Amino acid sequence: MPDESLRQQLLDAARGAREAAYAPYSNFKVGAAVLTATGEIFTGCNVENASFGATLCAERVAILTAVAAGHRGFTALAVIADTPEPVPPCGLCRQVLAEFSPDCRIIMANLAGQRQLATLKELLPLAFRLPSPEGGAAG
């Protein structure tokens, strides 16, 4: 798990990203920040759509932004929302993260300052994997 200073930096980045969330239908604003294996931080916010299936979660926005910048490995992901308890990533976001970093650490938080730490494997113990063309697991 990242040290306390880095965890706080990720949470601050996620909190800032949350401010840009586009959530006119649910008013449920979420921010996320992902830490790459090279130490860079990418952020994301949720972006809703009138066609609800087109909505993107903050975690996936952060991950996909990092992937678009050429990153494939992540060591930590922070997610924050205005909820009574620390907010976990949804199942779809967990699966997307598992594609790139099955050993990723997750920092879940709420605006009241509560935190919960977990590994992705704890949150998604049986992630779906396709075999790679070489015969092993992909990723």
Residues designated catalytic? 59
- 96-125 residues labelled b (16+ CB within 10 A) or e (exposed): bbbbbbeebbbbbbbeeeeeeebebeebbe
Yes or no: say if 96 and 63 are a contact pair by the CB < 8 Å rule: yes
